């Protein structure tokens, strides 16, 4: 594991050589995200400069940046579990291949996990842990993924929490995801500053 300073220097160099492909601060819905009611348990709105997802029942869903597929990239988003405590989560999904599978880097208030989600079969957890040494309670926390070939690094608020090598899905779409794990709902998740960079 590199030192904090060495890692910060390496990440800064990656950003310097990357090309930002997409950014949305959710000041409006110019990128045409889905808004409205989905499957009777999810309401998506963009207001107050954030993307808000309200859950009234158990479920999970995601929104993808559909214009490009990515192999080597940096992706990040600020997310907040505004209501629902440990029954809600927010996530970055990446290498999404329709009807095949994707990776999911998921944050709860007291737990994180990086999983491989297949269209059929159970998820495979590649890394997991307690994020609370890095998170800021119920305010916004930044999720950050760097993918370079088989190397996947995931960060919370610029702190590296896991590094794995995996080639299950070498490329695909990138997006954001929320989930409610409580049958009666009561979860609200918010997103801001969703960005994607392509790495050479």
Asked if 156 and 144 touch (Cβ cutoff 8 Å), the reply is yes
Angle of CA points 187, 192, 198, to nearest 5°: 125
* 170 touches 94 (CB < 8 A): no
pLDDT digits 0-9 by tens, 66-78: 999 999 999 999 9
What is the C-alpha separation between 143 and 166, in angstroms, rounded? 19
Grade residue 171 by pLDDT with cuts at 50, 70 and 90.
Answer: very high
Q: Furthest-apart CA pair in the chain: how many Å?
A: 48
Q: Express as a percent the part of the chain with pLDDT over 90.
A: 94
Q: Are 117 and 103 in contact (CB under 8 A)?
A: yes
Question: Whose structure tokens read 């999404």?
Answer: 96
pLDDT band at 4 (very low <50, low <70, confident <90, very high): confident
The confidence score (pLDDT) of residue 136 equals: 83
132: left (phi over 0), alpha (psi -120 to 50) or beta: alpha
- Taking the C-alpha atoms of residue 119 and residue 114, their distance in angstroms, rounded to an integer, is 16
Cα-Cα-Cα-Cα dihedral of 4, 154, 150, 18, to 10°? Answer: -80
Contact at 8 Å (CB) between 12 and 144? no
Distance between CA atoms of 29 and 26, rounded to whole angstroms? 6
> Distance between CA atoms of 163 and 6, rounded to whole angstroms?
15
pLDDT in tens, 26-65: 999 999 999 999 999 999 999 999 999 999 999 999 999 9
The three-state secondary structure class of 142 is strand
Cα–Cα distances (Å) from 70 to 38, 66, 96, 146, in that order, read 27, 11, 9, 11
Taking alpha carbons only, the member of 153, 144, 70, 152 closest to residue 107 is 144
Give residue 1's pLDDT band: very low, low, confident or very high (50, 70, 90): low
Confidence of residue 137 (pLDDT cuts 50, 70, 90): confident
């Amino acid at each position: 594991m590199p030192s904090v300073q060495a890692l910060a220097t390496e990440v800064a160099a990656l950003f310097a050589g990357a090309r930002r492909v997409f950014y949305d601060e959710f000041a409006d819905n110019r990128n045409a995200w889905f808004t409205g009611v989905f499957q009777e348990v999810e309401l998506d709105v963009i207001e107050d400069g954030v993307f808000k997802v309200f859950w009234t029942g158990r479920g999970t869903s995601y929104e993808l940046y559909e214009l490009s597929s990515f192999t080597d990239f940096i992706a990040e988003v600020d997310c907040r579990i505004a209501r629902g405590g440990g029954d809600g989560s927010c996530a970055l999904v990446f290498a999404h291949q329709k009807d095949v599978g994707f990776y999911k880097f998921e944050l709860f208030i007291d737990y994180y996990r990086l999983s491989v989600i297949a269209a059929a079969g159970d998820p495979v957890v590649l890394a997991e842990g307690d994020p609370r040494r890095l998170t800021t309670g119920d305010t916004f926390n930044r999720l950050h993924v760097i993918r370079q070939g088989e190397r996947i690094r995931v960060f919370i608020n610029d702190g590296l929490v896991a590094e794995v090598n995996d080639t299950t899905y070498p490329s695909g779409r990138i997006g954001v995801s929320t989930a409610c794990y409580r049958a009666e709902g009561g979860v609200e998740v918010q997103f801001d500053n969703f960005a994607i960079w392509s790495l050479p």
